[in-house]
Amino acid sequence: MFLENLQFSLNATVPVFLMMVFGWFVKKIGLLDDHTTSTLNKFVFRTLLPALLFMDLSTADFRSVWDGRFVLFCMVITLISVGIACLYSLIHKDKHERGEIIQASYRSSAAILGIAFVKNIYGEATMAALMIVGTVPLYNIIAVTALSLTSPEKGGRSGKSLFLNTAKGIVTNPIIIGIIVGMAWSMIGIPQPVILQKSVSYLGNMATPLSLIALGASFKAEEAKDKLPVTVGIVCIKLLLFCALFLPVAVHFGFRGEKLIAILVMLGSATTGSCFVMAKNFGHKGSITALAVMLATLGSAFTLTGWLFLLKTLGCIG
């Protein structure tokens, strides 16, 4: 039983991280450069991931898979996680860096790693999409608010500018658009022509491997070493504390299988690389964020395997 559970956990995590290692390797030998990696990240985020989510949701019976209780749980736990991240940021003396600490502590790679893990185990990402519905809008709203209020740029941003930036970030988020269109398509019951179905599936099937390759290629171990102490705290919160606190709560509420895996990724996956881009856009140095993304990405290879093994051993996932 021990070896079976370990094999299950490794089969779920190792292929994902091998793709990231491959991305780092091809960047190291010069097949990818910073510009190409940045472009690839944008391409995946703006086209492939929305296509994948549309593919999964538009062909599913959304009325039967919708679980408002699950979505609400994800939203509430996200808000509590943000509160913990805010408390941790208060320990840091530099107020201008607190926004980076907050964002890096709670914001997961829900879209990229969430979809990759759930699809790797269950072959579809419907529950990951529902988790994204409950978390990504909050991720954007809170990140824009925290980074704007702690921006080192003189004068910061007005309340109107903050609201407009937040609203724009949500409305134009390609992931959200892909989910909404896929949900609407499923609920209306429009039949999909074979040409459309195959074309979207071609795009969707590229999303997971290319996103993981791009994430691995973005890994830069030499950056921001002077921010190590505060960043180690962020990574411990991100990969260990949230899971230890909230996975038992999720099990208590009866979430199992695919839903529990989606919650695990929401709580314990690496800090998303888009945090760095957003931090820089709001005038922050981004050094804490960059190191948090790198350390959390490296550490999650071990912690996610451990959490998966524990859940499998306890019979919470199959």
Closest among 225, 214, 236 to 104, alpha carbons compared:
236
Which helix (DSSP H) or strand (DSSP E) does residue 253 occupy?
A: none
The position carrying tokens 């839903």 is 259
pLDDT recorded at residue 223:
54
- Stated length of the chain: 318
What's this model's pTM, rounded to 2 decimal places? 0.78
- CATH tag for 2-313 (out of 1.20.1530.20, 1.10.3720.10, 3.40.50.1370, 3.40.1010.10): 1.20.1530.20
The structural domains of the chain, with segments of one domain joined by +, span: 2-313
Which two tokens mark 269?
A: 């996956």
pLDDT recorded at residue 162:
65
Phi–psi pair at 46, nearest 5 degrees:
-90, -20
**Blockwise average pLDDT, block size 10, the chain, 318 residues:** 71 77 90 87 82 79 83 96 96 90 90 72 78 84 84 62 70 79 84 88 85 75 69 95 97 93 91 76 79 82 89 88
pLDDT recorded at residue 130:
86
**Residue 17: how many other CB atoms lie within 10 Å:** 21
Q: Contact 100/284 with Cβ under 8 angstroms?
A: yes
Closest among 87, 182, 67, 181 to 134, alpha carbons compared:
67
Which two tokens mark 174?
A: 């390609």
pLDDT recorded at residue 159:
62
Residue 187 corresponds to which amino acid? M
